[in-house]
Amino acid sequence: MASKPVLENSVLCAVFCPDTGALLQIRDKARGFDHLNPRKKPAPLRLERKGRMHRAFKEFAWQAAEDALVFTWNLSGADLRADIRLLEDGLSFTSRLTGPKAGLYRAVEYPILDGLTSCGDESYLAHAYATGVLFQNPASILPAKGGLRFCPYPESFSGASMQLMAYYHQDRAGLYLAAHDGQAHQKWLNAYALRGRLSISHMHGFEHLGSEEGIHQPYPFVIRLYDGEGWEAAADMYRRFALDQPWCGLGPLWQRKQEGDWLREDMGYCTFGINAGHDRSTWIHQYARDITVPGFHVLGPDWTNRPQTFGSGIPGGLRDWLPTRFHPATLTAIREEGHRFAPFEFDFLVALNQSDQEALRHNLQAFPQPTYSHDGYRFNMLCPCQDFTADFHKERDTQVQQESGCDAMYYDISVNNLIKICTREDHRHHPGGGRAITEGYQACYAQTADAMSQNAGRRIPLGTEMMCEVFLKELDFYQARAWGQPSSTLETWPFRKQMLSGQARMIPLFDHVYHDYGPVRMDGWGKLVAETGSLFYFNVAKVYLWGGLYELNHEYSPMEAIKGQENAGEEHYFHFEPQGYAYASDRANYLSQFARARVGLAKPYWAYGRLLAAPKADFPKVHYTWYHYNHDKGSPSYKAGGVYEESAVMSSLYESPDGDLALFLANCTNESHTFEPNTTALPRVPGNAAGRWIAFSGTDSPHIQDFRMDGGARQLMPFTLYMLEIKQKERGTLQ
């Protein structure tokens, strides 16, 4: 037997400790880069037992096979076996805990990459937390506790929307790290720093608690080398795995277009939190006049028989939810303008001091303690695996749709906000649940959607707060707030300091993988008032150019004052302070150009296209002003503001289902800037390619001109959106 456990080929050399099995080195031989510089005694593994993480073991043994290693750690009454296989450009890890006392353990943290090499500000961690965050110099900014130390999947409010991380050193070398699991098992994708040294780990478990079968990881955790030129290359690698998984089984969006797909075809913008139980027709008509295209309104929760509020509580059983109390003037305005709406529901979240208390208590989900997340999950949630929950969900929502005539249904604090663990022993799933909890949600949503759609005689789309890949087949839209950074909070609150400094930035990681397969994203956390600052212009562009619908949000603050009048706090479900900020029609006109592009010439790309890596362009950085007041006044983000550095011009690149290519450029400043096409490389586009140059501005019709890549510079006018389109016949399609 070899003296040291080593896996090596012409590309990679991986070295493990012969005494403990800890991973000591991953060397990229082609690029001459060592990815690990671990502590003196790095932990090879950790196991969770009774709420604590343990790293001790009695004995360790290893043996080599062809292009593989087998490790065995002997614990007290249990054995952990790991199989490590050498890939062409990386490593694959699986593990299994067995033995008479294996049932005492709840999770296995393995593998652990301790002390990853740092190149300072040239090192980046791309993580699928929320739907994608990029951390610069993560070894210096990630906490040892909280943050991403325990980052659950699938859970995208306090965890990961995909099973993907990438750690890279700009233009030097990088590591792709991903769990290739198509069955939605409960896992964690962790990243944490201690004394300036970054560690990354994978953890799995909490599925069959107490089982004599132990803890089985039936999927590989994969580490692969790549060039480190950016996070997009790692996203493309993950996409090749992801598109073959069950959640992509319906095919790309363009293949399953349905008649009356109004959400993608017709909606140019959206609102969130307009009162459902009061007359808000003035604002709906004003938006319609200035933005000029239909909008989608997720109305606030104050429509229930016992009103849902953010202060006095939520409903319990069905009698608290029904009948509905939508204000007829608000619904009439929506219909008159050709808009669409969905009610806001707290979904599986229920009160235990209202009706049906005994039945609700019997069917509540029991979260683990500790939660192994930075979220405490202090909710009374119905377990989705219970027949009671599925029947309650279907009966309630079918009647809500029938009474209101709503076009869609929206669920808050729901499937993508929660860890997929229920420790109840009297429920239909194994204690722990894991994968079974996810499958319970999938079945519950499918049953409710079918019932509502059959009853309505048309398809009723479903949406949730946040999004995870495993629900691509069940969900049609989702609400997020992170692309409004730093003028927003919620899912990014653990990294507020890093977001303000720019060391953490949102990236369209989820959309890079799934935009042409996935749901519509609602984001921006916006207001049409001048007081929010100039960052408004960049955030509008970012949301649309990354494929979303810009959202005007009215959850925690009044709507814009029209003719000196704003909605009163005592009529709202959150008791906000008056602000008195006047409605700004010029901002509505700016938003309009993007909304009209979304339902017009940009539709093949923003609604159905594939989001590609944006080409590098030489535009100046500018300092945008921002001010944030749409939040709980007890938050440090309330009435916070400052300046934020970003590019003067936002850009993105798409390929349409027909293979056409479109480069979008949005000048987000009040000064002109120059676009040099001969310095911008587009995939498979020759330097003399011809296309169309389209300018959107104000509420006028788009201005279209012929264009050549070698035809000289173009001026980008202030606050104007442009689209450079290269038709497929001019080039080969992307692969």
* DSSP characters over 432-488: EETHHHHHHHHHHHHHHHHHHHHHHTS---EEEES--GGGTTT-SEEE--GGGTTS-
Looking at residues 365-373, what average pLDDT do you find?
97
Looking at residues 494-508, what average pLDDT do you find?
95
Greater confidence (500 vs 489) lies with 500
Would the pLDDT of 655 be above 80? yes
Whether the CB-CB separation of 387 and 429 falls below 8 Å is answered with no
Neighbours of 593 (CB within 10 A): 25
Q: What mean pLDDT is reported for the chain?
A: 95
CA distance 479 to 26: 39
The string of pLDDT tens digits covering residues 688-712 is 899 999 999 877 889 999 999 988 9
3-state SS, residue 51: coil
Q: What pLDDT shows up at residue 687?
A: 86
Looking at residues 510-530, what average pLDDT do you find?
97
The string of pLDDT tens digits covering residues 259-294 is 668 999 999 999 999 999 999 999 999 999 999 999
Domains of the chain: 1-258+346-502 (2.70.98.10), 622-730 (2.60.40.1180)
Local confidence band at 734 (pLDDT 50, 70, 90 cut-offs) = very low
CA distance 376 to 361: 19
Q: Residue 648 has which token pair?
A: 């003067």
Local confidence band at 505 (pLDDT 50, 70, 90 cut-offs) = very high
Looking at residues 64-75, what average pLDDT do you find?
96
Whether the CB-CB separation of 544 and 598 falls below 8 Å is answered with yes
The string of pLDDT tens digits covering residues 524-545 is 999 999 999 999 999 999 999 9
646 forms bridges with which residues in the sheet? 622
Whether the CB-CB separation of 355 and 349 falls below 8 Å is answered with no
Q: Residue 204 has which token pair?
A: 């799995």
Greater confidence (306 vs 286) lies with 286
Whether the CB-CB separation of 162 and 509 falls below 8 Å is answered with yes
Would the pLDDT of 735 be above 80? no
706 forms bridges with which residues in the sheet? 692
Greater confidence (132 vs 194) lies with 132
Whether the CB-CB separation of 71 and 59 falls below 8 Å is answered with no
Strands (DSSP E) contained in 17-171 are 23-28, 33-34, 46-49, 52-54, 59-65, 68-75, 78-86, 90-98, 107-116, 123-129, 133-136, 152-153, 160-169
Q: What pLDDT shows up at residue 730?
A: 55
Contacts of 666 (CB under 8 A, 6+ apart): 541, 544, 545, 594, 649, 650, 651, 720, 721, 722
Question: Quick one: DSSP state of residue 581?
Answer: P
DSSP 219-239: S-EEEEEE--S-HHHHHHHHH
- Plot region of 639 (φ>0 → left; ψ -120 to 50 → alpha; else → beta): left
Looking at residues 297-305, what average pLDDT do you find?
96
Q: Residue 498 has which token pair?
A: 């890093």
The string of pLDDT tens digits covering residues 77-122 is 999 999 999 999 999 999 999 999 999 999 999 999 999 999 999 9
CA 232 to centroid of chain Cα atoms: 16
The string of pLDDT tens digits covering residues 434-488 is 999 999 999 999 999 999 999 999 999 999 999 999 999 999 999 999 999 999 8
pTM (global) more than 0.75: yes
Local confidence band at 329 (pLDDT 50, 70, 90 cut-offs) = very high
Strands 610-612 and 649-655: antiparallel
Question: Quick one: DSSP state of residue 601?
Answer: T
